[in-house]
Amino acid sequence: MGGTEAIHFFLAGILGLLVGSFLNVVIHRVPRSSRSTAPAINYLLVPRSACPACGNGLGWSQLIPVLSYIFQRGRCVVCKAGISPRYPIVELAAAGVPIYALICYEATMAAVVVSVLMWLMIAIAAIDLENLIVPDCLVVPLIAAGLLANAFGIIVEADKAIFGAVVGFMSFWLMARVAREFIGRPALGGGDVKFFAALGAWFGWQALAPILLIASVTGLGVGLSLRFTGRLGPEAPIPFAPFLAFGGAVTLFFGEALTSWLITFHPF
């Protein structure tokens, strides 16, 4: 690796940490503001970040991504309330995004666009994990952004993207209806339907079946193991967006290998 390349990776990692820090604000505030009519930018920027337990406003030394969490041993400096490990995890994941994008796409527009997509998927997955909702204010722009990016063919051709958004929405909506008939209560949320449409807009219709397969298998595996170990009640809902996001990420980075594997073993 050359010196310039190393600097690129270093700067990408720093940028990713800062974005991750902002994503944590989004993950914390968006679900709490769903009833607010104020523009998103208002509640994301004011007031400044504070400990949710004691309300102590955070100074700069408590806002350093990952490091603050380590030095404070995962606790608020004032009231010693535990801080969710979600904060450093999101920051580290967000830092990895542009580094991996640089490896896959080099310093191109595609690397920037794919990074934004991955960051948004991290936020959507974390919000669903903590609140069991997929907010419209994140997932609807994600559909539009996917169609826009693929109008320039960043990941797939425009026609595959448009068809992907439509097929993603309709197929998942139908599955949600069927699941509700069988289970007798909503099993898949309306937010999941829009998120699947967004994945179709980004990765194209041909990626929807592999994404759904990966998401269902991993979701079922994690859900069942949590239930068998008693960490999740038998009636407790399982958030599906994190598994859809995982399926999307796998398809993005291993899509070609995956597609050729499917074609080789399942000629349809």
Q: What DSSP designation does 84 have?
A: P
Point out which residues pair with 82 in neighbouring strands: 75
What's the closest the beta carbon of residue 123 comes to Zn ion, in angstroms?
Answer: 24
Closer to Zn ion by CB, 47 or 233: give it: 47
Q: Output the CA–CA distances (angstroms, integers) from residue 49 to 62, 95, 123, in the order listed.
A: 10, 20, 17
CA distance 89 to 224: 24
Please select the residue that binds Zn ion; options are 6, 11, 54, 220, rule is CB under 5 A: 54
DSSP category for residue 217: H
As measured in angstroms, the least distance from the Cβ of 53 to Zn ion is: 4
String marking each residue 61-80 x if it binds Zn ion according to CB under 5 A: ---------------x-xx-
Quote the least distance from Cβ 52 to Zn ion, whole Å: 8
Whole-number minimum distance, CB 58 to Zn ion, in Å?
9
Q: Is 174 in the site for Zn ion (CB under 5 A)?
A: no
Binding marks (x or -) toward Zn ion, 79..108, rule CB under 5 A? Answer: x-x---------------------------
Amino acid at 65: P
Residue 128 near residue 241, CB atoms below 8 Å: yes
CA atoms within 13 A on the CB side of 101: 28
Stretch that binds Zn ion, among 52-60, 142-150, 213-221, 239-247 (CB under 5 A): 52-60
Sole residue written with tokens 């594997």 = 261
Considering the complex, state which of residue 21 and residue 115 has its C-beta at the smaller distance from Zn ion.
21
Is residue 211 a contact point for Zn ion (CB under 5 A)?
no
Of 87 and 196, nearer to Zn ion (C-beta) is 87
Confirm or reject binding of residue 53 to Zn ion (CB under 5 A). Answer: yes
Q: Smallest distance, Å, CB 104 to Zn ion?
A: 40
- What phi, psi does 75 have (nearest 5°)? -130, 155
> Based on CB atoms, which residue is closest to Zn ion, 52 or 221?
52
User: CA-CA distance, 18 to 82, in Å (whole number)?
Assistant: 22
Which residues make beta-bridge pairs with 50?
A: 57
Residue 252 contacts residue 203 (beta carbons within 8 Å): yes
- φ/ψ of 207, rounded to 5, equals -90, -10
Q: Which is nearer to Zn ion, 77 or 175 (CB)?
A: 77
Residue closer to Zn ion by CB (options 7, 54) is 54
Can you give the binding site for Zn ion, defined by CB under 5 A?
51, 53-54, 56, 76, 78-79, 81
